[in-house]
Amino acid sequence: MKILVVGGGGREHALAWGLSRSGTVDRLFAAPGNAGIAEIATLVPVSAGDVDGLVDFAQQEAIDLTVVGPEAPLVAGLADEMQARGMAVFGPTRDAARLEGSKAWARELCERHGIPSPRSRTFTRIEPALAYLEELGDPPFVVKADGLAAGKGVTVAEDRDTAARALEDCLVHGLFGEAGQSVLVEEFVEGKEVSAMALTDGRTVVPLALAQDYKRAEDGDRGPNTGGMGAYSPLGFVDDDAESKIAAEILGATARALADEGVRYVGVLYAGLMLTAGGPTVLEFNCRLGDPETQVVIPRLRSNLAEVLLACVEGRLAEQELQWAPEACVGVVAASAGYPGRVQSGKNIAGLESVRELDGVEVFHAGTAARDGRVLTAGGRVLTVAAVGSDLDAARERAYEACARIEFDGMTYRRDIAAGAARTVR
């Protein structure tokens, strides 16, 4: 099987790594990939946003399956174009990808079908948005850019002034461009956050292992929101009853809601949830695998990833039963100084060879580039150091041991990933 992975981040490296171990993959390509992916796949000099270029390459190379990592090409219609040319592609169509492309549309879907979600309203003007803050009552409040903002368009405001500034950033100053021309103002809900991802072929829904990620830049969940600074799996605090509710009342119900509205959704259905006292509540939907959640879920998957994804595309997902390793996995993101703001690239990364000596550790590249035999930084989130262990304590210790061996100028990472969550895996 010839497979093309679209994207060049840590998620795509984890996908490529999992596919390379499938045993049924003859050739693996990545567009555009990164320095780490280059070790296991042939890089294609086509950006993830170049829909025509990706479709042309897949057709010329007779690719058997294209696996789309990031959301932007899906929202832009990459799956539609590939399907129109009779090619197999893992990822939802443009219409289905609205689930992530428009938070307002996703909220309205939840309301129409009774899927638990916070009270919210959508605004394009600041005056009624400010008035709605008063209607919601006491802070905190949540302000979200409606469109795609690379994981950075959400503000959890502890007071009205912060919420007002977030609204001004979107609706007055245009901080997020078109993505922020419309905003959601939501009530704040309390509980424990869970990343619940599933595969669906439009009929069958197969949940993946649950994970939890860390969005804030600094220890103790302080600092600005980021694309994700680390993650771990499995979640000891989610019992079988809660897991069943997530599968049925959130993931299954969302798939049925989409089907009832005439939307055939094929790919990853990802619900960012809050486990509240009243049960799981949807904070957001994504139309692709999470990053960095993928980096801690894929290493625990024992099933043939290539076969599972192909079965999903071909409508045979009901034939698949996913097998998971009992071990835990902890992933720590190493980022450039200044992330999630402006960063400097081109810093030499040392210690990667030393990490290869550690059992159970994989370093998934994100913002990296190879030059003159060296690996250099090339973005905000640079690496995800993922370690597998008998339990979360062992995995966490191994991950941080690996982080200590890696160096680049300005390297920063959280020291509290999975801290307090460590317990023996059931």
Domain count, the chain: 4
**Domain identity same for 245 and 310:** yes
State which residues form the domain around 342. Answer: 328-405
One domain for residues 306 and 212: yes
Q: Domain with 304 in it: what CATH number?
A: 3.30.470.20
Same domain, 270 and 385: no
Residue 79 lies in a domain: yes
Interval 105-127 mean pLDDT = 94
Q: What is the mean pLDDT of residues 129-147?
A: 91
- Encode pLDDT of 254-290 as tens digits: 999 999 999 999 999 999 999 999 899 999 999 999 9
Residue 354 in any domain: the answer is yes
Specify if 115 maps to a domain: no
Residues 261 and 367 in one domain: no
- pLDDT value at position 424? 38
Mean pLDDT over all residues of the chain? 94
Provide the CATH number for the domain around residue 55. Answer: 3.40.50.20
Is 305 domain-assigned?
yes
Residues 141 and 76 in one domain: no
Question: Which of 71, 93, 115 is at the close of a domain?
Answer: 93
- Residue 146 — very low, low, confident or very high, per pLDDT cuts 50/70/90? confident
Q: Is there a domain that residue 107 lies in? A: no
**What number is the average pLDDT over the span 377-401?**
97
**Percent of the chain surpassing pLDDT 90:** 90
Q: What is the pTM of this model?
A: 0.93
Mean pLDDT (whole number) for 398-422: 95
Tell me whether residue 417 is in a domain: no
**Residues 51, 160 share a domain:** no
Based on the domain organization, do 202 and 314 belong to the same domain?
yes
Q: In this structure, is residue 186 part of a structural domain?
A: no
Same domain, yes or no, for 229 and 152?
no
- Tell me what pLDDT residue 11 has: 98
Q: How confident is the model at residue 339 (pLDDT cuts 50, 70, 90)?
A: very high
Question: Domain check: are 154 and 246 in the same one?
Answer: no
Claim to verify: residue 131 and residue 234 sit in the same structural domain = no
d(CA 251, CA 200): 9
Confidence class of residue 151 from pLDDT cuts 50, 70 and 90? low
Candidate ranges 100-114, 178-192, 300-314; pick with highest mean pLDDT: 300-314
Cβ–Cβ < 8 Å for 407, 347: no
Instruction: Tell me the mean pLDDT in the region 167-183.
Output: 88
Q: Are residues 196 and 312 in the same domain?
A: yes
Query: Residue 173 sits in a domain of what CATH number?
Result: 3.30.1490.20
Judge if 314 and 198 occupy the same domain: yes
pLDDT in tens, 187-216: 999 999 999 999 999 999 999 999 999 999
**Does residue 116 sit within a domain?**
no
pLDDT band at 426 (very low <50, low <70, confident <90, very high): very low
Q: Which of 319, 343, 365 is the last residue of a domain?
A: 319
Q: How confident is the model at residue 422 (pLDDT cuts 50, 70, 90)?
A: low
